[in-house]
Structure formats: structure tokens, C-alpha cells
Amino acid sequence: MEETKLINGFPHIHFSRDIFSKAEMLERSQSYFEWMNDRRTVRDISNRPVAKEIIERLVMTASTAPSGAHKQPWTFCLVSNPKIKREIRVAAEEEEYRSYHDRMSQEWLDDLKAIGTDWHKPFLENAPWLIAVFRKAYDLENEKKRTNYYVNESVGLACGLLIAAIHQAGLVALTHTPSPMNFLSEVLKRPENERPFLLIPVGYPHEDAYVPDLKRKPLEEVAVFYE
């Protein structure tokens, strides 16, 4: 029987975890780092199908993310319907064409040169699944507004776990931010409390895929210790 206790009148379950030795922790954290360091954003995604049951499990992992006051303020729209993918691609390319031609600064365009992106978004049709992530600015319970807290932080964390889960399954993803992306609310007919957050095509890498030869910052550049 699970050990429970009332705290503030609410049930709490006992929590414990296996303690690893230092050597085990080093091994686990090093091998997880090496595995995650192999993750890459892939833009050449093949049209090879991915089973719905896999996508379901990826989303369940994402939804384990911590969230402000445990509101889980996210909706994952899972699109494999070719007609809807086409609609999303056409709308995204329209916005991206304008961004690349009129809206992005020269600095931004220069920064993107090494990554090699432009306004063409074939992956929005080729990928077997598009995951459109929406953040719930507030919840609606019987038409009454309920506040959500730290919505951006919470949904960002859920997306991080989603991307890690996609990698763990042996698939690839692209964190895509067509800007502006309000068209996603219309195409997917989302309620007014939901705002588009990220659009993530998921699938297998194309067999002739290439990714930019990026280097990641070393520890000294991303961490400051206070001992």
C-alpha cells in the first residue's frame, strides 16, 4: 500500500528514490550527456510513416514536465492529415516569405546564413507528423477564466522534454517558429485561450540529410560556479 499523509488537507504520497554511488552517477550523467549531445535539429525529414502510438508516448513524456502550480498549460495538436499539413505549409511559407524579405534584420539574416534556412518549408508536408504546441494563456472551466502561472516557462520545459523524448525514440525534430504563427490557431481551430507556441515536425531523417557543423559552447562558457 502506498503511504499517504494529509498536508494542508490534501493527500501526499511518500517519495523515495534509489541512491546511486558517485561512480554510477558519473557514468549515468556522462552517458546521458553524450546521448543528448548527439541530438540535432534536422530539416531534411523523410516521409516515412511513424506510428501514432509512438507520438502518443512522446507527448505523454512532454506532459510530465513541471509547470507553474501544476496547471500543465499546454495542448499538443498532432497533425498527420496531409490536407491540414499542406494548409499549414502554405500559410507558414507565406509568413516566412515576408519575414525573410521584409521583416528580419540584416543581423538576423546573417546569423541564419550558417544554418542555411530560407522561406521554403518542405518539412511541413514531408514529415509524417507535425506537433503544434499551444500554450494556454488561461484555462476555461465552464466559461470561467482560471489563471495559469509561468505559462511560457512551463510550455518551454514541456517542449524540451518532448524534444528529448523524440531523440530517445530514434526520431528527429525541428523546433520551428514561423513568425507570426497565429495562422495555426485558425487552421487547427483552437479555442481563444490557446496561443501557438512552437511547430515541431517529427519523423525520420532523410537518408541524404545534412546538418550544419555547429559547435556547442564548453562548460566554462555556460556555467559559473559559486563554491
Ligand X SMILES: Cc1cc2nc3c(=O)[nH]c(=O)nc-3n(C[C@H](O)[C@H](O)[C@H](O)COP(=O)(O)O)c2cc1C
Q: Are 176 and 201 in contact (CB under 8 A)?
A: yes
Least Å distance, CB 160 to ligand X, is: 9
Smaller CB distance to ligand X: residue 43 or 135? 43
Which residues 115-134 are close enough to bind ligand X by CB under 6 A? 115, 117
- Rule CB under 6 A: say whether 214 interacts with ligand X: yes
- Rule CB under 6 A: say whether 41 interacts with ligand X: yes
Query: Per CB under 6 A, which region of 7-15, 39-47, 72-80, 102-110 contacts ligand X?
Result: 39-47
Nearest one of 139, 151, 132 to 192, comparing CA atoms: 139
Smaller CB distance to ligand X: residue 213 or 220? 213
- Rule CB under 6 A: say whether 176 interacts with ligand X: yes
Residue type, 181: M
Least Å distance, CB 12 to ligand X, is: 35
Instruction: Report residue 111 CA to chain centroid gap.
Output: 22
Phi, psi (rounded to 5 degrees) for 141 = -115, 115
Q: Which residues contact 151 (CB under 8 A, 6 or more apart)?
A: 68, 73, 135, 136, 137
Smaller CB distance to ligand X: residue 69 or 115? 115
Q: Are 182 and 196 in contact (CB under 8 A)?
A: yes
Q: What nine digits make up the cell of 177?
A: 517558429
Least Å distance, CB 20 to ligand X, is: 28
Binding site for ligand X (CB under 6 A): 40-41, 43, 115, 117, 174-177, 211, 214
